[in-house]
Amino acid sequence: MVIARLADTITRGVENISDTVSETFFEPVIRLGVTGLSRAGKTVFITSLVSNLMDRGRMPGLVAAQEGRIEAAFLQPQPDDTVPRFDYEAHLGALTAADPHWPDSTRAVSELRLSLRVRPSGLLSGLQGPRIMHLDIVDYPGEWLLDLGLMDKDYGTWSRDVLQRLENRACAKAYLDLARTAQGDEKHDETVARDLAHSFTGYLHEARAQGFSDCTPGRFLLPGDLAGSPALTFAPLPSDGPSKRRSLRREMERRYEAYKSQVVKPFFRDHFSRIDRQVVLIDALGAIHSGPRAVDDMRHAMSDILGAFRPGRNAFLTRLLMGKRVEKILFAATKADHLHHKQHDRLAAIMQALVRDAADRADFAGADTRAMAMASLRATTEETLTHEGEALDCVRGTLLETGKQAAFYPGDLPQDPMRLLNPARDGAETWLDADYEVMQFAPAQLSLKPNEGPPHIRLDRAAEFLLGDRL
């Protein structure tokens, strides 16, 4: 038995090695991670990226496409048999239907392999024929990435940190009241544990809806098939010393550790550690609309995210990565089609300032890091209206709620990003001299020419940054 299992392991090892060898030498693979908090735009991004890589008429900024060196792009079975496939066809179907609608959002990890047949450039072009490059796109919730912060903390420290953060959030009042009355030293009672976890989860949802980014543990918001399991039935409790045996707090402690070892660890081991390049999508306009606190929280979340990619930051991750590094990280503000193009540079400047700040705070160096403003799917057209004698640069689209067409002016982003970032850092409650609005637009009806993917803003530049050097 043991020998058979051993032999099996060796054979599988050899198979894996030979797979890797053949792929490394003959068919290179790029694993592109796509993340961002829920509703940041991951599903729409991947759908539009894949469609625009298959039909490259709208990808002039992707040099290999512009030079006509991408001969073909086609979907193939993905290499990981146990990871759900990204449902590209259904998502594209939603966006391109006669009555277009947004696809279902990311709720868990999924994967898709797109293979590109590319002619080499430069000196090699005359010597070598076209080669195949596989792009494995791995879609995963940013909430799960932020869970890395739990790995370094024991339950007591985590509880203290979270409860402190909650003090400043009105939406946490109900949970704080419950946690303060909970008898952590009393015998564990499942009903009490469930009530606490339920109330804490309710707070996390509310905080997320209010635009806050740091809403961990991530699976409380996106539980997948773990909903209702003990690993998700815990919550932070105040404490003033070691917890007693069989007490509520001791059981919470145990479940918190189970969450780390059985939920967080496997995600980092099986998915995160294998990523070569990463795009982090950020709904910056949504956070700006929510106010300075949400922007400050987004700032913190970005440095936490960047910290996850910093080699040596976290003992657990350092062991896991064994020196492997992510080569490129793109932070992209999504939904730039909510702004007239005259404001795109301002949004990009805000993102650049945020990324610079995040890199400083996370003491990050190594990967090539970039920030930009983009839209995976342009749902609006531009229009200049006259309002009280002044020209107002608006966007026009179909409102998601009413289905009616409307022109929309989101507000004037400042030229100097610090005009937003300083009040956010200083803990301001509201923006003093400006008001920012967001709208939900429905996707526009598309009539695509045969060689065109969906319309976008700077998706081609994003693809060039992430993949261009390997094509």
Applying CB under 6 A, the residues found at the interface with ligand GDP are 36, 38-44, 102, 105-106, 334-335, 337-338, 375-377, 379, 440-441
The closest of 146, 120, 150, 69 to 316, measured between CA atoms, is 150
Spatial distance between the Cα atoms of 29 and 276, rounded to a whole number of angstroms: 9
Smallest separation (angstroms) from ligand GDP to the CB of 125: 35
Whose Cβ is closer to ligand GDP: residue 40's or residue 215's? 40
The closest of 326, 358, 350 to 466, measured between CA atoms, is 326
Spatial distance between the Cα atoms of 390 and 412, rounded to a whole number of angstroms: 13
Smallest separation (angstroms) from ligand GDP to the CB of 102: 3
CB distance 159 to 200 below 8 Å: no
Spatial distance between the Cα atoms of 226 and 220, rounded to a whole number of angstroms: 9
Spatial distance between the Cα atoms of 251 and 347, rounded to a whole number of angstroms: 46
Smallest separation (angstroms) from ligand GDP to the CB of 41: 3
Whose Cβ is closer to ligand GDP: residue 110's or residue 159's? 110
Smallest separation (angstroms) from ligand GDP to the CB of 64: 23
Smallest separation (angstroms) from ligand GDP to the CB of 149: 20
Smallest separation (angstroms) from ligand GDP to the CB of 456: 7
Smallest separation (angstroms) from ligand GDP to the CB of 168: 26
Structural tokens at position 327: 């080569």
Spatial distance between the Cα atoms of 31 and 45, rounded to a whole number of angstroms: 16
CB distance 86 to 130 below 8 Å: no
Smallest separation (angstroms) from ligand GDP to the CB of 335: 4
Whose Cβ is closer to ligand GDP: residue 133's or residue 350's? 350
Whose Cβ is closer to ligand GDP: residue 316's or residue 409's? 409
Smallest separation (angstroms) from ligand GDP to the CB of 36: 5
Whose Cβ is closer to ligand GDP: residue 18's or residue 381's? 381
Whose Cβ is closer to ligand GDP: residue 78's or residue 376's? 376
Whose Cβ is closer to ligand GDP: residue 431's or residue 441's? 441
**60 contacts: CB under 8 Å, gap ≥ 6:** 66, 460
Whose Cβ is closer to ligand GDP: residue 39's or residue 361's? 39
Is residue 79 exposed (0-12), middle (13-18) or buried (19+ Cβ within 10 Å)? middle
- For the chain, give the number of residues: 471
Structural tokens at position 223: 């539980």
Whose Cβ is closer to ligand GDP: residue 70's or residue 287's? 287
Cis peptide before 77 (omega within 30 of 0): no
Query: Which one-letter amino acid corresponds to residue 54?
Result: M
6-22 b/e with 16+ CB inside 10 Å = b?
A: eeeeeeeeeeeeeeeee
Smallest separation (angstroms) from ligand GDP to the CB of 108: 11
Smallest separation (angstroms) from ligand GDP to the CB of 413: 17
Spatial distance between the Cα atoms of 405 and 21, rounded to a whole number of angstroms: 55
Whose Cβ is closer to ligand GDP: residue 413's or residue 471's? 413
Whose Cβ is closer to ligand GDP: residue 40's or residue 372's? 40
